[in-house]
Amino acid sequence: MSELRFEGVSVRYGTRRRGMTAVDRVDLTVPDGAVVGLVGESGSGKSTLARAAVGLTPLSAGRILLDGEPLRRTSGPRPVQMVFQDPYSSLDPRMTIGDSVAEAVPRGIRSADRRREVARLLELVELDPSRAGAYPGQLSGGQRQRVALARALAARPQVVVADEITSALDVSIQGTVLNLVRRLQHELGTSMLFISHDLAVVRYVASEIAVMYLGRIVEHGPAAQVLGDPQHPYTRDLLAAVPGWSPAAPDTAVPPEVAAAEPADPHAPPPGCRYHPRCPVGPLARPEREVCRTTEPTTDHRHAAACHFAAAEQPLARAAD
């Protein structure tokens, strides 16, 4: 059993007067053996939540549980391991990839067994073990990301957090890495929090999807349900940007002020629903929906959608081939 659970987690940076809350009262569960995709724009708090999960960022409130027990820092390998967006910056350029992977293998293993374990891990991520003597600078971006995956798996984690691991790669390489992630998760059964700003990427690997906006989870549910019947306007807007999807009600005109709106300042989130200054079905488009400006929405809707009018809006439909 390897369930990772966030309960009321908040992370705040800076001082009370000049700081900002990057993650605000997040409740999220990564079930045992599942891949939960966390999606949202840059600045939504995804990476901050990931760093909190592996102990790199302290919590301001809430707690993180692993199999029902508080997640604590240990002197040995951590049970939650992270794969970073930029594999080059996460690998020591002065160490061979074999040494980098071996460094993460739990202690107490003989040198010969450690070398065999490194070879096994490199094969697991589809790299020739003979490349163990190579340095990160001698590898391509996709190969370095494979090494980063092997290094994370070397620690024998219970949960892996993958933070935008394909966004720095060429499009031609992204699919290869995603296929590798799917195969590894299927073979090893490792629980995974897979973070991306791209819903098209997340839907390929995740069994559940959580959508994050300005530090909060605004929708969460099984991937097929969230993609097939999105309840929150932000989720529908993200899906509308994915090739092959289109709004079910294309005749609905979006006011120019909504189309041109920028994300709210995370240092001073708007009151009420945080998405209302950009929402195509909010008060800018429908003035009678003033409640969006003043009252924080509950999550008493399908997929725990944080929207006052979630049930009243049309879902997205897959475009015809």
Q: Strand 191-196 and strand 208-213: pairing?
A: unpaired
pLDDT at site 289 = 94
Measured distance CA(296)–CA(52) in Å, rounded: 25
* CA gyration radius, the chain: 21
Question: Shortest CA distance to 78 belongs to which of 150, 6, 187, 160?
Answer: 160
CB 212 within 8 A of CB 45: yes
The residues spanned by each domain of the chain are 94-150, 231-318
Q: Half-sphere exposure (CA, 13 Å, Cβ side) for 110? A: 2
CB-CB neighbours of 68 under 10 Å: 8
pLDDT at site 302 = 87
Measured distance CA(68)–CA(175) in Å, rounded: 35
CB-CB neighbours of 99 under 10 Å: 14
Phi, psi for 92 (deg, rounded to 5): -75, 115
pLDDT at site 75 = 63
Q: Given a cut of 60, is residue 319 above it in pLDDT? A: no
CB 305 within 8 A of CB 299: yes
Burial of 265 (0-12, 13-18, 19+ CB in 10 A): exposed
Q: Given a cut of 90, is residue 110 above it in pLDDT? A: no
- Percent of the chain whose pLDDT exceeds 90: 64
Helices (H), 97-170: 97-104, 111-124, 141-154
pLDDT in tens, 124-182: 999 999 999 999 999 998 999 999 999 999 999 999 999 999 887 888 888 889 999 99
pLDDT in tens, 283-296: 988 999 999 999 99
Phi, psi for 101 (deg, rounded to 5): -70, -40
pLDDT at site 252 = 54
pLDDT at site 143 = 93
pLDDT in tens, 31-72: 999 999 999 998 899 999 999 999 999 999 999 999 999 987
Measured distance CA(300)–CA(310) in Å, rounded: 9
What is the dihedral angle through the alpha carbons of 84, 158, 222, 232, rounded to the nearest 10 degrees? Answer: -40
* Average model confidence (pLDDT) across the chain: 88
